[in-house]
Amino acid sequence: MKFGTKAIHAGVEPDPSTGAIMTPIYQTSTYVQRSPGDHKGYEYSRTHNPTRTALQQNLAALENGKHGICFSSGLGAIDAVMKLFRPGDEIISTSDLYGGTYRLFTKVFEPFGIKFHFVPMSDMDAIEEKINSNTKLIWVETPTNPMMNIIDIVEVAKIAKNHGVLLAVDNTFASPFLQNPLDLGADIVMHSVTKYLGGHSDVVMGALVVNDDVLAERLVFLQNASGATPGPQDCFLVLRGIKTLHIRMERHSQNGKTIAAYLKNHPKVEKVYWPGFEDHPNHDIAKKQMRDFGGMISFTLVGNRLEDAKKVMENFKLFSLAESLGGVESLCGHPATMTHASIPKEEREKVGLVDSLIRLSVGIEDAEDLKNDIAKALEAI
């Protein structure tokens, strides 16, 4: 099946008892057994739930994987990956990444003895330099949050395979419609399902997709044992959201291109970060591994003044000032004080995350209206 067909049909069957075309919300905590241990595949809803099963099968299909595993948040999914490792193990991560991931790595798992190296992964030598006998995982975000850097998944996968370490890719910014890391050599794909997969800013959820049966078994064990599982109502909402993922992502990408071009030519904008520009440092890699360039854009203002960034964001009307991304509505955020505030200022600025940087999640509204909204907001400075 092509992607749009998979989004609607993969992993989903009409309800066998009624013929309902939409997967029911199995709002139950437990399941009656015929005899002790003799059940229909479901015992307790932390372990399995039919609504969650349908979603996990659908997500696996969208990423061309075998196993989908859902969690109560994206960080819950990353937490499960980190629990695969032990004190003394080392993990190499991209230096430009979501602040919550950085916080989880440095504040939760580092005190337990797991060592993290943060490197600029556009430089393959930087990865090689940090690999040693204790290295167990390479963690990649691409496009990165919020600097929109592109990391060559194929090349990183070669390094990982050569050294016998796992490769995990946070695919949240791209979504499965724009990029499929398993096809490029990754072992684990992570999504904050909250974002593009849900698509309507009404769910918090995470997911992992893998091909390896043994790895899947370990992650499913952690999903159940640690208990960070989503409820059936949220799974239903995501299944509904995914049915329009391909159409939404096409519009997000179209609008992203329009807004990026507008910002690039605005006299009050200093720099625009969007991988669709031919002068983006890794544009060719983005063209190679992504189907389009998406609707995530970051930009800085001339003069790099925090007060200017605040004025612009306070004067948006259509771009709502809020955390998160990937919904049908356009959002703006200030990474330095919001999503990436947990990263020390000196570390943020090493990757270019300055105080005037504004991150846009371009929605699916009319592009001309969005341009006008930006124009009026920039008049405030």
* Same-domain status, 40 and 150: yes
The string of pLDDT tens digits covering residues 1-37 is 999 999 999 999 999 889 999 999 999 999 999 999 9
Residue 83 pLDDT greater than 90, yes or no: yes
What is the pLDDT at residue 72? Answer: 98
* Same-domain status, 107 and 253: no
Confirm if 57 and 10 have CB atoms less than 8 A apart. Answer: yes
**CATH label of the domain that carries residue 299:** 3.90.1150.10
What is the pLDDT at residue 318? Answer: 98
* Same-domain status, 192 and 257: no
* Same-domain status, 124 and 268: no
> Is 158 one of the catalytic residues?
no
> Is 291 one of the catalytic residues?
no
* Same-domain status, 295 and 153: no
Three-class secondary structure of residue 149 per DSSP: coil
Q: Rounded distance, CA 201 to CA 369, Å?
A: 21
- Of the candidates 203, 224, 240, which is a domain's last residue? 240
* Same-domain status, 173 and 294: no
Q: Rounded distance, CA 173 to CA 372, Å?
A: 25
Task: State the pLDDT confidence band at 274, using cuts at 50, 70 and 90.
Answer: very high
Q: Which of 6, 136, 195, 348 is catalytic?
A: 195
Distance in Å from the first CA to the final CA of the chain: 50
368: number of Cβ within 10 Å: 9
Confirm if 73 and 100 have CB atoms less than 8 A apart. Answer: no
Residue 269 β-bridge partners: 301
pTM of the model: 0.96
The string of pLDDT tens digits covering residues 32-72 is 999 999 999 999 999 999 999 999 999 999 999 999 999 99
Residue 150 pLDDT greater than 90, yes or no: yes
Q: Which of 31, 42, 46, 268 is catalytic?
A: 46
* Same-domain status, 279 and 223: no
Task: Name the token pair of 301.
Answer: 């203002």
> Is 31 one of the catalytic residues?
no
- Of the candidates 215, 240, 265, which is a domain's last residue? 240
The string of pLDDT tens digits covering residues 222-261 is 999 999 999 999 999 999 999 999 999 999 999 999 999 9
Average pLDDT, the chain: 97
* Same-domain status, 47 and 146: yes
* Same-domain status, 198 and 292: no
The string of pLDDT tens digits covering residues 105-126 is 999 999 999 999 999 998 999 9
Task: State the pLDDT confidence band at 341, using cuts at 50, 70 and 90.
Answer: confident
Q: Rounded distance, CA 298 to CA 359, Å?
A: 4
Q: Which of 98, 102, 196, 273 is catalytic?
A: 98
* Same-domain status, 213 and 285: no
Task: State the pLDDT confidence band at 128, using cuts at 50, 70 and 90.
Answer: very high
What is the pLDDT at residue 269? Answer: 98
* Same-domain status, 235 and 263: no
Name the more confident of 210 and 40.
Answer: 210
- Of the candidates 199, 222, 240, which is a domain's last residue? 240
% residues pLDDT > 90 (the chain) = 95
Q: Which of 79, 96, 170, 308 is catalytic?
A: 170
Q: Which helix (H) or strand (E) segment is 376 a member of?
A: helix 367-378
What is the pLDDT at residue 91? Answer: 98
How many domains, the chain?
A: 2
* Same-domain status, 25 and 146: yes
What is the pLDDT at residue 182? Answer: 98
316: containing domain: 246-380
